[in-house]
Amino acid sequence: MTVNTPLCFRGKSILAPMVRVGTLPMRLLALDYGADIVYCEELIDIKMLQCKRVVNEVLDTVDFVAPNERVVFRTCERERHCVVFQMGSADAERALAVAKLVESDVAGIDINMGCPKEYSTKGGMGAALLSDPAKIESILTTLVKGICKPVTCKIRILPSVEDTVNLVKRIEKTGIAAIAVHGRKKEERPQHPVHCDVIKAISEAVSIPVIANGGSHDFIKEYMDIETFQKATAASSVMIARAAMWNPSIFRREGLFPLKKVMQDYIKYAVRYDNHYTNTKYCLCQMLREQLETTQGKKLHAAQSMQEICEVFEMADFYEETTTVFTAKKTSLETKIQGDDDDQMEDPDVIKMAVRFDKREYPPQITPKMYLLEWCRKEKHPQPIYETVQRPLDRLFCSVVTVAEQKYKSTLWDKSKKLAEQAAAIVCLRTLGVPEGKLCEGENQLINKRKREDHGLCYSSTPGDDLAEPSHKKTNFIEGASDVNGLETPR
C-alpha cells in the first residue's frame, strides 16, 4: 500500500509525546505557538481496541470512547493534518488494528520504543522492544504496508553507538517516514547529559529524517536554542518534551509568553474541549513548578473542579459563558435527535407506554422478559424479538419487542440495552393483562415453576425447560454518536 504523506518531518519543531500532558488542549496550544507537528501521549493498543469512535457534535471533536464511557483519545479538525498518534504495542496485528481505527482522524502513526517506565515495558512495549529487533521490524513493516498515513517510531539509544546505528539502519529498511531519537539510554534520566554525538552519528548514517529529542535540560531554554540543538545533533527536526510542558510558548519564534498568559490560554482550551479537571490541574502544576507554594499554587492544588480552577486564574466568567453555550447546544441537539429518533421509531402499529424497569420491584433473578418468554411458550407463540437502538447524544437506549406480530415499546429511554428491553417486555405484558412477576402481585408462579424444575433435576438427568432470556435480539447503534463526558487522563 502506497504511503500518502503530506506530513514532512524535515525542518520541523515538534511537541513530544508526554504521558498526561499531550492531551488535546496542550497539543492545540503548541500549534498556536508555532509547533509544526504534535504527538499525542502514548496510548496502549489493547485499551484503544476497546474504544468506539464517536463524533461529538457538542464539542466538534472526534472521541474514542471506552466501554466505561471514558474518553481515551479526543481530537479535532484543527490538528487533523499535524497530529501523530503514538501507541504502545508489542504486537503487529494489534498495532495495525488500532492504526486503522484512528487513521482517518490523524496525520501519522508512531510506535513508542523508548519509554523506560514499567507500565510500558512490562507488556513488552516501549524500551523493551529495543532488545527485540525482529519484533520491531514486524510491527513497523505491518503498519507501513497496512495504512496510508506515514509511520514513525521513537527510540532511545543503546549502550554502544555501533549497536544503535545498526538498529536504526534495520528500522529504516521497514519503510518508515522518520525516526525520533531520545539521546539517552533507557536507564538514564533527564538529569543525565543528552548524547548529541550518538544522535549525530545516526543522522549521518541514514537517509530518513532523524528527529532529535532530549535537549530540554541541557539546551532548550528559548526558541533560538531549538536550532542550536538541531545543529549539535545534525538532525532533520527537533522534538521538545519538558521545555514545552513547562511553557509551550517555547515554540514561538518571537519569544516566550509570560506564564500567566500561557496558563490562561491553556485553560481556555481545557474548558472549550471539556478536558477533565484532574488532567488540566496536572498540566498547570507542571507549568507552575517552583510557584506551587505560592498562594495561587496552593489554590490550584486545592481545586476540585474545572470551575474552581478557572476561579483560581480569574476566569470564572469565561467558564460560565462557555458552559452556557455548550448547555444550549446540547439541549438543541437533544431536542433534534429526540425528534429524529421518534420519527425513526414512530409506527402507528406499535403499542406504547411510559414505563421503566425497577429491579427492586421484582424477586431476585425474576424479570419481565422471563415472564414474557414463558407466556409465549405457553401460548405457542414464537419467542419475543427485541430490536434496540441507541441515541448518540446521551447514549440512551430504546427497545421494541415483537410478540405474535404485534410491537410494543416504552416511550422512556434507558441507560442500558437490558433495561430498555425489560421496559418493552413490561409494556407487552401489561397490554396483554399478563402478570409481570412483581413482588406486589403475590404468589409468583414462575418462581414456583423454577423450584419444581430445580427439585426435579436432583432426581433426573433430563433438564427442564430453560427459562433463560431469549437471544433473539438486535441492537442498532446510530452512527455519529456524540459524547460530552469529561476527559479522564488515559493513564
Catalytic residues: 115
Query: What is the Cα gyration radius of the chain?
Result: 28
Of 336, 272, 319, 323, the C-alpha closest to 76 is: 272
Q: Listing from the earlier edge strand, what are the strands of the sheet with 61-65? A: 52-56, 61-65, 71-75
Q: What H or E segment, with its residue span, contains residue 322?
A: helix 316-345
The number of beta carbons lying within 10 Å of the beta carbon of residue 427 is 25
Name residues whose C-beta falls within 8 Å of residue 371's C-beta, 6 or more positions apart in sequence. 425, 429, 434, 435, 436, 437, 446
Distances (CA, A) of 70 to 65, 99, 284: 6, 20, 22
The letter for the amino acid at 203 is S
Cα separation of 146 and 131, whole Å?
24
Name residues whose C-beta falls within 8 Å of residue 120's C-beta, 6 or more positions apart in sequence. 42, 88, 112, 126, 127, 128
Q: What H or E segment, with its residue span, contains residue 71?
A: strand 71-75
Query: What would the grid cell of residue 34 be?
Result: 508555532
The letter for the amino acid at 101 is L
Cα separation of 385 and 403, whole Å?
7
Of 130, 124, 116, 281, the C-alpha closest to 190 is: 116
Supply φ then ψ for residue 194, to 5 degrees.
-80, 140
Pair type for strands 385-390 and 397-403 = antiparallel
Query: What would the grid cell of residue 128 be?
Result: 523493551
The number of beta carbons lying within 10 Å of the beta carbon of residue 10 is 12
Supply φ then ψ for residue 400, to 5 degrees.
-115, 130
Of 198, 219, 48, the C-alpha closest to 125 is: 48
Cα separation of 283 and 469, whole Å?
49
Cα separation of 354 and 119, whole Å?
48
Cα separation of 147 and 284, whole Å?
36
